[in-house]
Amino acid sequence: MDRALIRDPFCAWCGKGPLKPALLFGRGSPPDPFSGPGPHRLERCAACGTLQVNPHPGPEAARAFFSRASLFLEKTRDPGGNMVDPVRRAEERAPEYETYVKTLLPLLPPRGTILDIGCGTGLMLSLLPDRLKKIACEPNPAAAALARKRGIEVREVFAEDLDFPRDDLVLVIFNQSLDHLIQPAPILEKAALRLAPGGLILASGLINPRSPAAILSGPNHRLWHPFHRVCPPFRAVVERFASLGLELVLHRRPFFRKKTEASVPYVAKALLTLAKNRISGAGAPSPPFPGNTITYLARKSLVPVPAKTEEIPFKPARAGGRVFPKPFSGRNLRDDNQPRKKH
């Protein structure tokens, strides 16, 4: 396998630049057979603010990493060093996926095709109504087999090799997959082109490079990884969507933990841990924290969409008798480039 790293001269999210060094992560970590020895470099795009691994593992290394069956068949260590069952961990996220589905249901037409790019075990796709045709793309053979057991049509290919369905799509799902693509921009553009007017794109779990944990942890942030290709801030996502004719419908900051761990005492304790690690220079990975990732839902418009760089005021919408929960928000979670109101 070719382990040579590839350096991109331009941003993998917006296509502009220049790219400027931001930080090194993974210093002292054991050598990885897929991404090579650390440390790895994150660079920031001067145009859009996106953080990206550069130089990054090449296509051959990425394909080998994501297609290995052990990703879904063997226990692995999470960023905190705990051994976890990947399939069980995916199943534990069912409540979060159910929230997305209940939000999507009133927005979906009676008929149409859904494409899930990087469907994993197919859990989220299986929760959507059977009146819609479901097609999934999943390169990992173990995950694809689990998705097929749910009755899902799975194309066992990488997104870059996917022959997009010819029908106009009513929904394209990137469930924690968009930031793993070697070149996410062309795939997102292709998805937007194949969307029917009024069609939706759900991009969940995009790493938020301006979360409190990311800022306070620096190189020890739990989500920095050689195969987390891009980490676009809120403003960069909205502007990229707008350039593709996509209007942001809503966004939220999910927290994939138990409800008790999302409580005020937990957040206060996690902030204290982050501050202590920052002051002491401890190399421990950051704790799970609300706001580490952002999920976006966008709709294809019939007319050009102006980029709204301020976060959209969140209006909970009733769906299936339940209220879509508010995202964890606050002044400390705003995008740094967003204008602030003067009082």
- For residues 198, 202, 208 and 212, what is the CA-based torsion angle, rounded to 10 degrees? 100
Q: What is the mean pLDDT of each run of 10 residues along the chain (343 residues)?
A: 79 95 81 74 97 93 90 79 82 89 95 96 95 95 95 95 87 96 92 94 96 89 92 97 95 66 76 83 79 94 58 38 34 37 43
Q: How does DSSP assign 285-300, residue by residue?
A: PPPP-TTSEEEEEEEE
**Domains in the chain, CATH or no CATH each:** 69-322 (3.40.50.150)
Predicted pLDDT at 91: 87
What is the CB neighbour count within 10 angstroms for residue 65? 19
Which residues on neighbouring strands pair with residue 116, listed in sequence order? 136, 173
Predicted pLDDT at 331: 32
Amino acid at 327: P
CA distances from 123 to 93, 150, 151, 320 (A): 9, 8, 11, 19
Spatial neighbors of 116 by CB under 8 A, at least 6 apart, are 122, 124, 125, 134, 135, 136, 137, 172, 173, 175
Rounded to the nearest 5°, which phi and psi values hold at 33?
-65, -15
Q: With residue 83 as reference, give the H or E element that holds it.
A: strand 83-84
From 199, 187, 197, 283, select the one nearest 229 (Cα to Cα).
187
Distance CA 41, CA 68 (A): 25
Spatial neighbors of 100 by CB under 8 A, at least 6 apart, are 124, 202, 204, 295
